[in-house]
Amino acid sequence: MTPWKVEWTGAAQKDLLTLDASTLARVRAALCRLAETGEGDVKKLHGLPGYRLRVGSWRVFFLRDSSLRTLRIFRVKPRKDAY
pLDDT per residue as tens digits for the range 22-71: 999 999 999 999 999 999 999 999 988 999 999 999 999 999 999 999 99
Per-residue pLDDT at 63: 97
Per-residue pLDDT at 39: 95
CATH number belonging to domain 5-82: 3.30.2310.20
Per-residue pLDDT at 48: 86
Other C-beta atoms closer than 10 Å to the C-beta of 41 total 12
**Secondary structure in 3-state letters for 54-80:** EECCEEEEEEEECCCCEEEEEEEEEHH
Per-residue pLDDT at 83: 73
Q: Hey, is 7 helix, strand or coil?
A: strand
Judged against a pLDDT cut of 80, whether residue 1 lies above it is answered with: no
Largest CA distance in the chain: 36
Per-residue pLDDT at 81: 87
Question: What are the structural domain ranges in the chain?
Answer: 5-82
Reported pTM = 0.92
